[in-house]
Amino acid sequence: MPDCQRKSQPFDYSICELDAKNAANFSLQWQNPSSTSHPLLLTFTTLRDYLASQQPTKTLLFAMNAGMYDGNFAPIGYTVINGKQIRALNLKQGGGNFHLMPNGVFWQDHQGFYITESQSMAKKLASGAKPTFATQSGPMLVIDGNIHPAFDANSTSRKYRNGVGVCGRNPSRVKFVISDTPVSFYEFADFFKSQLGCDNALFLDGGSASALYSQTLSRNDNKYMGVMIAVTQDK
């Protein structure tokens, strides 16, 4: 189950780690399909109550915003929930963090968790990859052990940020981090690379959109979100 901790070096942050062998307890959530009037989940509290209604034997341990969304809280990138594609892979050029190329996809299949650069993800899908869940966001923070080339080590643009890394092997661990103090893109990426040992890491969002739910940390950020990552456990 997620090991969630608060730490203060090299900056204030909260981290939740998940072993790949616990993948069965992991899901991507966005809507309540049985609700016609208010299908969007939007908040961690609604997510928690929805999961409890669907799986009374399980409790929500961890959740995090899972990527960027439009004005209707719909994902703007590739999204797969329970094996069903909700949004197609987005390879368009544009402005904003999502289009600070390369961007990437955090996804899972029956073999494990991955973070894959979007162009490479297109090739994997063309070759028959079948994600059970996927969420596309951007920019990539770490790409095959290298910090995103557009990040400036001397940048003074600091914001609250959250992201995910797939780190180590046999088994790999998934590490979710939310900064509890503003950090630059370079500082955040270097943390995943140098401190956490993640070969690949993906920015999920920043500023007022960064959010964390952790039962261990007694934290339930009250913000509106689009797609959310959720980890549950049997009561």
pLDDT at 110: 86
Measured at the CA of 108, the angle between CA 137 and CA 216, to 5 degrees, comes to 80
- Alpha helices, H only, the chain: 44-54, 118-126, 185-190
The 10s digit of each residue's pLDDT in 101-159 is: 999 999 999 888 999 999 999 999 999 999 999 999 999 999 999 999 999 999 999 99
Omega into 171 within 30° of 0, i.e. cis? yes
pLDDT at 34: 82
Q: What's this model's pTM, rounded to 2 decimal places? A: 0.95
Rounded distance between C-alpha atoms, residue 231 and residue 85, angstroms: 20
Q: What is the domain range of residue 21?
A: 3-234
Number of domains in the chain: 1
Residue in the structure block whose two tokens are 């901790």: 5
Do the bridges between strand 26-29 and strand 228-234 make them parallel or antiparallel, or are there none, so unpaired? antiparallel
pLDDT at 38: 84
Q: What percent of the chain has pLDDT over 90?
A: 82
pLDDT at 179: 98
DSSP-derived secondary structure for 211-228: -EEETTTTEE-----SSE
pLDDT at 2: 80
Residue in the structure block whose two tokens are 């959310």: 228
State which residues of the chain have pLDDT below 70.
Answer: 21-23, 170-171
